Amino acid sequence: MPTRRAALVAALASAVVLVVPGPIGRNLLVVNLVLVAVALLDALAAPSPAQLDVRRTLPGAVTLDRPAEVAWTVRNPRRGSLRVALADELAPSLRADTRRAAARIPGHGTLQASTPIRPARRGRFVVRELVVRVEGPLGLAARQAALSVPGVLRVYPSFRSKDEAELRIRKARILEVGLRSAQGRGGGTEFDQLREYNVDDEFRRMDWSATARAGRPIVRTYRAERNQTVLVLLDNGRVMAGRVDGVPRVEHAVDAVMMMTAVATGLGDRCGVVAFDREVRAAVPPGSGRAQLGRVVEALYDLEPVLAESDYAGAFSETLARFRRRTMLVVLTDLVAPAVDEWLVPALPLILREHVVVVAGVSDPDVARWSEAPGDEPTTVYRRAAALSALEARRRTVIRLRGLGATVIDARPGRLAPALADTYLRVKATGRL
């Protein structure tokens, strides 16, 4: 392959041949042919890119919107120096500063180059090829080939609610050891131990038999139940592809799943996840311990919404077949009236009879803003009327779901995960599981 330098000289010579007639033109034609022959010999003198030791180093797993680095290594097997350039097929959403590198590599030397990346989208990225070009000794031509250098980069979702989750875990643990909070609702319903009465203890906690034996007031202490089960049903259908606050709804839901898992397992309970659309896409059985959050993230990191209506009845039936124990079932979806009325409401009776059901979704702040936008221009008036109609339909949907017996959370962006965790803590504190 001629380099730019050789191609430019050949083009100029060809132009002169066409313009200048006679012996001068014939001489220039000879010069052009000689130049092409020299370029071909220069290309043949360059080693094949396949002879080079070319490697790509990927970080393996990175977190969404966090910096990482992709590195390339090219080793020159010859004694003479080589001019080498490479181009990688990194996806645009990885936001690499550059996909190219070029340098002269000394004999038996190594080219080492890298580029920082900052992924803008989670998922599994498969990179297969590196295009490598090796120039000839004269720099007039080069040999180029696409080399197979396969690699996989996993981009995990960012746990934006991590601090909120840790705060709720610490607060719940403090309440368990007997400290009182202005917002606390008691110490749970599972018997913990007997101890001597304090002035802050409730009179109904007195254990009269123990008091008679000890000769002093003794009370029973309780703690929140452990080893209970929370199962999150993540809708991965069409309604979750809509964007709210700049990202698809499913991103807000994934953050809520991570917070729910962290809080539940941090308090000794078991948490699992089922992601579904027309079929079940991923299922993580309920588990406890710190490793459970990692298992959930691994199952959901490459989940992309399917542009089809979700089969709630099928997902609920399969869930009940797998997990028969009384459970807090959290359905993460969008509270848009047509989908809820046609698909979710008919399926809810399958799970409401035996389980505590929470239906949660994230609201769109743009719709609320449009409903309050001033102005009498036709476009503004129409958008305000449409927004008011959408909000009213959403309010009626929430009321209908609550009337069926479900707890409903309709939170703005950034508050879905904390609101869901608070609901779980209230259910746990009141012994509804």
d(CA 215, CA 154): 64
Q: What is the structure's pLDDT at 17?
A: 46
Tell me the mean pLDDT in the region 175-184: 44
At 267-293, the pLDDT tens digits run: 989 999 999 999 999 999 999 988 999
Q: What is the structure's pLDDT at 185?
A: 37
Of 137, 156, 175, which residue constitutes the final position of a domain? 156
Residue 167, domain member (yes or no): no
Please indicate, yes or no, whether residues 28 and 142 belong to a single structural domain of this protein. no
- CATH number, residue 103: 2.60.40.10
pLDDT greater than 50 at residue 12: no
Please indicate, yes or no, whether residues 286 and 212 belong to a single structural domain of this protein. no
Q: What is the structure's pLDDT at 198?
A: 74
Please indicate, yes or no, whether residues 219 and 283 belong to a single structural domain of this protein. no
Please indicate, yes or no, whether residues 253 and 282 belong to a single structural domain of this protein. yes
Q: What does the mean pLDDT of the chain come to?
A: 84
Tell me the mean pLDDT in the region 357-375: 92
Residue 185, domain member (yes or no): no
- CB contact at 8 A, 402 and 244: no
pLDDT greater than 80 at residue 46: no
Give which of 87, 100, 91, 89 is closest to 62, Cα–Cα. Answer: 91
Residue 178, domain member (yes or no): no
Please indicate, yes or no, whether residues 127 and 196 belong to a single structural domain of this protein. no
Please indicate, yes or no, whether residues 95 and 18 belong to a single structural domain of this protein. no
Q: Which two tokens stand for residue 250?
A: 């499913």
Residue 387 CB coordination number (10 Å): 19
Tell me the mean pLDDT in the region 131-158: 88
Give the 3-state secondary structure of residue 415. Answer: coil
Q: Which two tokens stand for residue 389?
A: 């109609």
Please tell me the total count of domains within the chain: 4
Q: What is the structure's pLDDT at 44?
A: 67
- Which has more pLDDT, 219 or 386? 386
How many Å is the maximal CA-CA distance in the chain?
A: 129
Q: What is the structure's pLDDT at 114?
A: 94
Residue 21 pLDDT level (bands cut at 50, 70, 90): low
Residue 171, domain member (yes or no): no
Contacts of 242 (CB under 8 A, 6+ apart): 248, 249, 334, 364
d(CA 433, CA 430): 8
Residue 174, domain member (yes or no): no
Write the secondary structure of 166-201 as one string of H (helix), E (strand) and C (coil): HHHHHHHHHHHCCCCCCCCCCCCCEEEEEEECCCCC
Of 176, 204, 223, which residue constitutes the final position of a domain? 223
Q: What is the structure's pLDDT at 8?
A: 47
Q: Which two tokens stand for residue 234?
A: 């993540």
Amino acid at 175: L
Q: What is the structure's pLDDT at 227?
A: 75
d(CA 420, CA 17): 78
Residue 177, domain member (yes or no): no
Please indicate, yes or no, whether residues 270 and 203 belong to a single structural domain of this protein. no
Of 223, 242, 273, which residue constitutes the final position of a domain? 223
Q: What is the structure's pLDDT at 192?
A: 58
Please indicate, yes or no, whether residues 273 and 329 belong to a single structural domain of this protein. yes
Range of the domain at 103: 49-156
Please indicate, yes or no, whether residues 324 and 274 belong to a single structural domain of this protein. yes
- CATH number, residue 271: 3.40.50.410
Please indicate, yes or no, whether residues 263 and 195 belong to a single structural domain of this protein. no
At 189-227, the pLDDT tens digits run: 555 567 777 766 666 777 777 777 777 888 776 655 567
Residue 98, domain member (yes or no): yes
Residue 67, domain member (yes or no): yes
Question: Which of 77-91, 136-150, 278-292, 395-409 is predicted with the least confidence, judged by mean pLDDT?
Answer: 136-150
Please indicate, yes or no, whether residues 332 and 345 belong to a single structural domain of this protein. yes
Please indicate, yes or no, whether residues 350 and 411 belong to a single structural domain of this protein. yes
- CB contact at 8 A, 153 and 60: yes
Question: Which of 26-40, 333-347, 381-395 is predicted with the least confidence, judged by mean pLDDT?
Answer: 26-40
Give which of 280, 293, 295, 283 is closest to 323, Cα–Cα. Answer: 283
Residue 90 pLDDT level (bands cut at 50, 70, 90): very high
- CB contact at 8 A, 394 and 233: no
